[in-house]
C-alpha cells in the first residue's frame, strides 16, 4: 500500500460523493453498521467501487462508505471493516482510516464490539477506550516507513485523545447514557480467548478484549489525526461468561444496544469537529 494508492482512493471518494473533504470519520464495528442507514444527505459508495479498498468477507460486517452531512460537517462513515484474522496484511486493515485521514478527517471515531473483562462491565455497556494493550506482536507500521504519511517512531502517549473523551463523557451525561472507560486488549482472533488468557489480560490491566481498532488507532496517530474509540460490550469474556461465546450473541447484543449507540453517536459527532 502506497501513498499513491491512498491518494487514488481519496480522489475516487471525493468524485463519488461530490465532497472534497470529510472532517470526521466514523468506523462502525460488528453489528453496528446499521447506524449508517438513514443519515442526512447520505451518499453510499460500496467499498468495491473505491480503488484499493479491501472488501470485508465476514458475516455481519457490511462494506460501504457512507458520506453524510451532520450539522454542516461532512462525515465519512465506514460501515464494515476488514480484520487481521481474515488474513489481510495490517497495511490493508488500516487502508480505510488512512484514506479517511487523507480525505481531511482530523478526528477519527473507532467503534467495536468487545468482550468485557473488567469488574462491573455488563453486556450492553458502552465504554470509552482510554488506552490499549497490543497483545498480537504485530503493528501496522512494520515495514518501510513513508515519511509523507508520518514518522518512523510515533509516540502513542495520549493516543485516545483526552479532550475527545471528555466531550464524549459530557455528551453521554447530558443524554443520560452511562459511558464507562477502560483499557482495550487487542488479540488477533478469530478464536475467542481462553479463560486463562482472559485472567492474564485482567492482571495486565485490560478491561475489554477484541480483534480490531488498535491497528487503525495506530495508523491514525501515525498520520497525526485524533482518535476517539468506543467499545460496545457484547458479552462477558471467556471464563467470566457462564455460557460459551458466540458470534450470534455478539450480534444480538449489538442489535439490542443499537438505539443507545446511535443516540450517543448522533449527539457526539457535532462536538468533535477540530
Ligand atoms: N473476545 C474477542 N473479541 C470479541 C469478543 C470477545 O469476547 N466479543 C466481541 N468481540
pLDDT digit string (tens) for 65-82?
999 998 889 999 999 999
pLDDT at 54: 93
Helix axes 95-102, 3-17, angle to 10 degrees: 70
Query: For residue 212, how far is its CA from the centre of ligand 1 (angstroms)?
Result: 10
pLDDT at 30: 84
- Output the nine-digit C-alpha cell for 254: 449489538
Rounded distance between C-alpha atoms, residue 54 and residue 49, angstroms: 10
235 close to ligand 1 (CB < 6 Angstrom): yes
Query: For residue 247, how far is its CA from the centre of ligand 1 (angstroms)?
Result: 9
114 close to ligand 1 (CB < 6 Angstrom): yes
Give the 3-state DSSP-derived string for the chain, with helices as H, strands as E and coil as C: CCHHHHHHHHHHHHHHHCCCCCCEEEEECCCCHHHHCCCCCCEEEEHHHCCCCCCCCCCCCCCEEEEEEECCEEEEEEECCCCHHHCCCHHHHCHHHHHHHHCCCCEEEEEEEEEECCCCCCCCCEEEEEEEEECCCCCCCCCCCCCCCCCCCCCCCCCECHHHHHHHHHHHHHCCCCEEEEEEEECCCCCCCCHHHHHHHHHHCCCEEECCCHHHHHHHHHCCCEEEEEEEEEEECCCCCCCCCCHHHHHHHHHHCHHHHHHHHHHHHHHCCC
211 close to ligand 1 (CB < 6 Angstrom): yes
Residue 74 neighbours by CB distance under 10 Å: 20
Burial 216-254 (b: 16+ CB within 10 A, else e): bbbbbbbbebbbbbbbbbbbbbbbbbeeebebebbbebb
Of ligand 1's listed atoms, the one at least distance from the Cα of 210 is 3
Answer positive or negative: Cα dihedral of 163, 166, 171, 174. negative
104 close to ligand 1 (CB < 6 Angstrom): no
Per the CB < 8 A criterion, the answer to whether 183 and 206 are in contact is yes
pLDDT tens digits, 194-235: 999 999 999 999 999 999 999 999 999 999 999 999 999 999
From 245, 248, 251, give the residue whose CB has the most ligand 1 atoms within 8 Å, as the site to mutate. Answer: 245
pLDDT at 58: 60
Domains of the chain: 3-271 (3.40.50.1580)
Counting as low any pLDDT under 70, the low residues of the chain are: 1, 58-62
Per the CB < 8 A criterion, the answer to whether 99 and 53 are in contact is yes
Rounded distance between C-alpha atoms, residue 112 and residue 216, angstroms: 12
Amino acid at each position: 500500500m502506497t501513498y499513491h494508492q491512498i491518494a487514488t482512493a481519496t480522489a475516487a471518494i471525493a468524485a463519488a460523493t461530490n465532497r472534497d473533504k470529510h472532517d470526521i470519520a466514523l468506523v462502525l464495528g460488528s453489528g453496528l453498521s446499521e447506524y449508517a442507514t438513514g443519515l442526512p444527505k447520505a451518499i453510499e459508495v460500496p467499498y468495491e467501487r473505491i480503488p484499493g479498498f479491501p472488501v470485508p468477507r465476514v458475516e455481519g460486517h457490511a462494506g460501504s462508505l457512507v458520506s453524510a452531512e451532520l450539522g454542516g460537517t461532512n462525515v465519512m462513515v465506514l460501515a464494515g471493516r476488514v480484520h487481521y484474522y481474515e488474513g489481510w496484511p495490517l497495511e490493508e486493515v488500516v487502508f480505510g482510516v488512512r484514506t479517511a485521514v487523507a480525505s481531511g478527517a482530523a478526528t477519527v471515531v473507532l467503534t467495536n464490539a468487545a468482550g468485557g473483562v473488567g469488574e462491573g462491565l455488563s453486556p450492553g455497556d458502552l465504554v470509552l477506550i482510554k488506552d490499549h494493550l497490543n497483545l498480537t506482536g504485530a503493528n501496522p507500521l512494520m515495514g518501510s516507513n513513508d515519511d509523507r504519511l508520518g514518522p518512523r517512531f510515533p509516540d502513542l502517549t495520549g493516543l485516545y485523545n483526552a479532550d475527545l473523551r471528555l466531550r464524549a463523557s459530557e455528551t453521554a451525561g447530558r443524554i443520560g447514557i452511562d459511558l464507562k472507560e477502560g483499557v482495550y486488549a487487542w488479540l488477533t482472533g478469530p478464536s475467542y480467548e481462553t479463560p486463562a488468557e482472559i485472567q492474564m489480560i485482567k492482571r495486565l490491566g485490560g478491561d475489554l478484549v477484541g480483534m480490531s481498532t488498535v491497528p487503525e488507532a495506530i495508523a491514525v496517530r501515525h498520520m497525526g489525526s485524533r482518535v476517539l474509540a468506543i467499545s460496545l460490550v457484547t458479552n462477558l469474556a471467556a471464563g467470566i461468561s457462564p455460557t460459551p461465546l458466540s458470534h450470534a450473541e455478539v450480534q444480538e447484543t449489538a442489535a439490542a444496544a443499537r438505539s443507545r449507540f446511535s443516540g450517543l453517536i448522533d449527539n457526539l459527532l457535532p462536538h468533535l469537529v477540530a
